[in-house]
Amino acid sequence: MKMKFEKYQGAGNDFIIIDNTDKSTTLLPELIQALCDRHFGIGADGLIELTSSHEADFAMKFYNSDGKTANMCGNGGRCIAKYAFDHNIAGENMKFVADDGFHEASIIDDVNVRIMMIDVKGITTFDDGMWTNTGVPHFVKFVDDIDKVDIDSEGRKLADDKRFAPDRTNVNFIDNKNGFRIRTYERGVEGETLACGTGNVVRKK
């Protein structure tokens, strides 16, 4: 099997990007897990499949490192936009489609890429935090001292909470004392990641 792939890094996340416009590669979960394995594979937080689209410059399919799909990945969207630009698939300003809908992206310079996320439809408030969907689900919990939080343990408990069944959720822990700090537990990675684009969405004014 011959695959065309490259590894891109964006804001703390790294991704394997596979150009599958010729549909020559069948991305089974076992293959994705093997490629993303940091000990025996290439190693990555996730894998992104690029395919053609009749309605946009290209289509994006995102897979977490466990082989399961997610509707969107913010940093992954920025990386695939840069990949598309680098390989003359799209220009500096582009439109692509992911499982959550259409996105626009702009190449700012060699390292900075801006993408437009979907509109947030609403926020559900709980006693212990709030939940929303920015392309993928996120539960947001404010904490007093983010350095003392066991992100992997507490994040998994919240991700598995029955309130978010059956799809589970990503979890953002936020400490807004003396600045603004955020740490993220990502489902599919099943641990803390160094960054999360869909968990750091800024509202357009």
**Which phi and psi angles does 105 have, rounded to 5°?**
-140, 150
| Helices vs. strands in the chain: H and E counts, helices first | 3, 14
Question: What is the reported pLDDT for 105?
Answer: 97
Long-range contacts of 20-29 (CB under 8 A, 24+ apart): 20/49, 20/50, 20/51, 21/50, 21/51, 21/52, 21/58, 23/51, 25/1, 27/63, 28/67, 29/66, 29/67, 29/68
Question: What is the reported pLDDT for 205?
Answer: 58
Question: What is the reported pLDDT for 156?
Answer: 96
Catalytic residue among 32, 70, 73, 98: 73
Which pTM value belongs to this model? 0.82
Question: What is the reported pLDDT for 5?
Answer: 86
pLDDT digits (tens, 9 = 90+) for 132-155: 988 889 999 999 999 999 999 999
How many other C-beta atoms are found inside a 10 Å radius of the C-beta of residue 156? 17
- Superfamily for 5-115? Diaminopimelate Epimerase; Chain A, domain 1 (3.10.310.10)
Task: Please confirm, yes or no, whether 79 is among the known catalytic residues.
Answer: no
Domain boundaries, the chain: 5-115, 123-193
Segments of the chain scoring below 50 in pLDDT: none
123-193 CATH pick, 1.10.12.10, 3.30.420.40, 3.40.50.1360, 3.10.310.10? 3.10.310.10
Catalytic residue among 76, 196, 198, 199: 196
63 burial type by CB count under 10 A (0-12 exposed, 13-18 middle, 19+ buried): buried
Task: Please confirm, yes or no, whether 36 is among the known catalytic residues.
Answer: no
